[in-house]
Amino acid sequence: MRENAISIVIPAYNEARRLGDTLSTIVEYIEGRFRMHEIIIVDDGSRDRTAEAALWLSESRRDIKVLRQSPNRGKGAALQRGVLESTGEYVLCTDADLSTPIEEIEKLFPRLQRDGYDVAIGSRKLKTSRTVQPLHRRLFGDLSNLFIRLMLGLPFRDTQCGFKLFRRNAAVRLFKPLKMQRFSYDFEVLLRAQKLGMHVAEVGVRWTHSPQTTVTARDAVQSFFDVFRVRFGLTEEFGSPLPSLELLKFMAVGVVNTLVDAGVYVALTRAIAIFAGAPVTAKFFSFVCATISSLILNRYWTFDIRAPLTLGEVARFYAAVSAGLAVNVVAMYVFVHIFGIYDLLSLVLATAFTFTVNFTLSKFWVFKNQLAARI
């Protein structure tokens, strides 16, 4: 039995049906392992009887504390309140659906107690992880994490798993200034931990997708924009640099390529008779011109490579272009048909994901050898 006191914080929104089973599972596990513990349920303005169910359970147990906030403010806000009112030496944040079983805490605790880390986060993306998840959600999660890592410079494979263990002093420092009130709190907390020089361990855990998840398409869209809010918000707070010059150049090249594509297409279909009635053929040539523009500008300007161009680079570049096209189509399908997002907004999101994939492939695969040689 551990002598250390632990606080378990559970944000709850419309969880009346499964809250009882969740608490029974946690209590059964935790009682024999921690001499001192508390379970904090934060009802986040639920529309069902979550608060009543939690209060009823707390009447027979002194170790269960119920906090209520109304109206609904979001998962981040609920966790912020729960963490700041916790008293344990360690604070575990976990989801009400127990997608990650409570027993997985045994994998996180040694990283804090034995190895001296300030934070240990559960991960669904490591070799030691065991994940059960629909393919489209796995794909969406992979793309989201790639986008977050690229934009925020975070080294973690999975920022969004809800199973995280903190030393209490670290938790308070991270959650007290929290600005992201909803599902984007994860990457703000982790980026702040990085800026503060905290040591964060990423640990593979078991995770099973819950069909009753409360994450909506609106949340996914909001998180996309929150990445930029966090990036520039913490830049102002810590005085850290803006996104890398390479990233900004890559974005500028994307704009130029779009103009090249459109310009060549208009020129062919309006000025050359044989293309006037063949828009698909004209589009093929304009697309090829745009890719050539992309290859030249990104190689010599974005990444500042001066070595002679090789056939291997060209082959990898067009493979990356093909991969980007596939990601664009798949992402568009997922946003429109799986998440039901408006098509024009889906187009913007799919484009952002494609940009992320293209930049990552260009920097770490297409031009990798030349960049390494330059260093």
Q: What is the pLDDT of residues 250-307, one digit of tens each?
A: 889 999 998 999 999 899 888 888 888 888 888 889 999 999 999 999 999 998 888 8
Q: Are residues 229 and 256 in the same domain?
A: no
**Mind giving me the DSSP string for 254-282?**
HHHHHHHHHHHHHHHHHH-HHHHT-HHHH
Q: What is the CATH number of the domain that holds 210?
A: 3.90.550.10
Q: What is the pLDDT of residues 9-56, one digit of tens each?
A: 999 888 888 888 888 899 889 887 887 889 999 988 888 888 888 888
> At which of 189, 216, 238 does a domain end?
238
Query: Strand, helix or coil at 203?
Result: strand
Specify the residue for token string 């304009």.
286
Q: Are residues 220 and 256 in the same domain?
A: no
CA separation for the pair 253, 135 (Å, rounded): 32
In this prediction, residue 356 has a pLDDT band, given cuts at 50, 70 and 90, of: confident
Q: Are residues 171 and 196 in the same domain?
A: yes
Longest dimension (CA), the chain: 84
> At which of 238, 269, 295 does a domain end?
238
Q: Are residues 197 and 292 in the same domain?
A: no
Domain enclosing residue 218, as ranges: 6-238
* Reported pTM: 0.71
Domain presence at residue 1 = no
Angle CA 90–95–97, to nearest 5: 140
Domain presence at residue 25 = yes
Amino acid at 183: F
Q: What is the pLDDT of residues 204-231, one digit of tens each?
A: 999 888 766 655 556 666 677 777 777 7
Q: What is the pLDDT of residues 43-78, one digit of tens each?
A: 888 888 888 888 887 877 888 898 988 887 888 999
Q: Are residues 223 and 345 in the same domain?
A: no
- Number of structural domains (the chain) is 2
**Mind giving me the DSSP string for 58-76?**
HHT-TTEEEEEESS---HH
